[in-house]
Structure 1
Amino acid sequence: MVAVRSLSKRFGDHTVLDAVSFSVAAGELVSVIGPSGCGKSTLLRCLNLLEVPDDGAIELVGHAIDRRGGGRWRRRDNAAAHRLRAQVGMVFQGFNLFAHRTVLENLLLAPRVVRRQRPEAEAMRLLDKVGLASMAHRYPATLSGGQQQRAAIARALAMTPRVMLYDEPTSALDPELSEEVLGVMRALDADGMTQIVVTHEMRFARAASDRVIFMESGRIIEEAPPERLFTSPADPRTRRFLRTEL
C-alpha cells in the first residue's frame, strides 16, 4: 500500500530526513513517534508531496514518485504528484477548516471543485460517522476543538482516500477532546483504512497501532509491534525517549 525507499529531505545545509525507508500494508495503522524536530511532520509532508523530497522514492497505492538521484522537478512530476495526492487524506494539528463555511460546506468544497460532484448524502453520512450530523450547518467557530478535528477528518474522507495521514491530530486538545478524535481513528482502523499517525499520544500509539516507528535526528531508529517496542525496545535511544515520555 505504502512503500518509502531512502527518502531524504534537506533545508539548506540541514538534513531533516536521512535515507528513511519503511512500508505500510493495506489496513495497517502505523504510529510515528519521536522527539520534537526529529523529522516526523516533514516525513508526512513528503508522503503527500507538500514538500518535494530531495532523494528517494515513494510508492502509494500503485502511484510512484521516484526522486532517487535528485535532479530537477519536471512537469510530468506534477501529474504524478496529483495522482498520488488523490489517494491521500491529510489531517493537520490546526484543523484548517474554512471559518466562513459551515461544516457541511467544508466537506463539499473539494469534491465540487476537484471532481465536479455534489455528494451531499455522502457528506452527511461521513458527518454521522464522526458524530457530527446534527452540526452540519454550524460554523467551525461554534464547535469545540475535538468537534473541529472530527470535522477535519470527515472532510479528508470526503475525497475517498485510500490512505489517511495525521500530523499530531490531538496535540491542541485536552485529554477528553483528544479521546473523541482518537475514537474516530480507531473506528476507521476497524473499517480497514490504512493510516499513518504522527503522534505524541503514547497510550494511543501503544493501544491502537499495528506497528510503531521511532525516529530521531531524521532517521528511523527502530520499528516494531507496539508491545515489543514499549516493553523491550532494542535501541538505547528508544529506551531513553520512552523513559522521558512515559
Structure 2
Amino acid sequence: MKINLFDLTGKTALVTGGSRGLGLAMARGLGLAGARIILNGRNVDALHRSASALCNDGIEVQISPFDVTNPDAVNRAIAEIENTQPVDILLNNAGMQYREALETFPVDQWQRVMNTNCTSAFLVGQAVARGMIARRQGKIINICSLMSELGRPGIAPYAASKGAVKMLTRGMCTDWAQYNIQVNGIGPGYFRTEMNIALSGDPAFSDWLCKRTPAGRWGEADELTGAAVFLASSAANFVNGQILYVDGGLSACV
C-alpha cells in the first residue's frame, strides 16, 4: 500500500497575512495538498479576491479577517474558528517592512514592525496552541527570514523582529513538543513579492543579489510551497524547533 506522507486531506490550515505574496502562494500549496484553507488579513476585499482565486484551483477556502496584533481580536477570531473546525495547521505569515537608517528610525514604526512580525506570531500561536494542546496534535509554521541570521543596512528593526521569531519558534517547540505539536520556521531569502518590489526593480541591487546568491537569481513565490507542505505534513512529525532556509544558498556562503 502506498502512503503519501505529504497528503493534507482533512486538515484545516489558518494562514495569516494570506491575501497576497508568499502567504497566498503557501496557502495555495497547502490547499493543493488537500488542506482546507482559512485566509486571514485585514483587507476584506483582498481576502475575497484571493479566496476566489483559490476556489478556482479547486481548493476549499474561507476567510477570517482580523487584526493579528490585537489580542482581543485574535482570541475572538480563533474561538469562532475552533467552534466549527479545529485548526490543524497554523502558518504565521503576517509581516511588514519599513526601511530607514537606524539612527532616524521612528519609534512608532519600530513598534509597528515588531508587533506585526513578532507579537502577532505569539498571539495567534498562543490562541491556536490551546486547542492543539487539548487535541494533543498540531503544526505551527512561523515565517522567519534570511534576516533572522543576517543584517542589511536600513532594516535593523525588521532583522530584530525576525530574529525574535526564530527564537520564539524554538521556545514554542520547547514548551509544546510534549503535546505532539511541531513548531518550525521557514526563512525565505529574496523573493519577488509586492513587499520587495522596490528592490527587485533596482538593477544594481538585483545584480548584487544574483552574484551573491549561489543559485544566481531571485526566488519565485511558488518555490516556497514545498517547504510549507513538508513542515505541515506527517513527513515532519519528528522535525521540531528548526528553521528551514529557502534562499537559493545565500546563507550557506560568504
Bin the TM-score by the shorter chain.
0.3 to 0.5
Whose relative contact order is higher, 1 or 2, with alpha carbons under 8 Å and at least 6 apart?
1
TM-score by length of 2: 0.33
TM, length-normalised to structure 1: 0.33
- Higher helix fraction: Structure 1 or Structure 2? 2
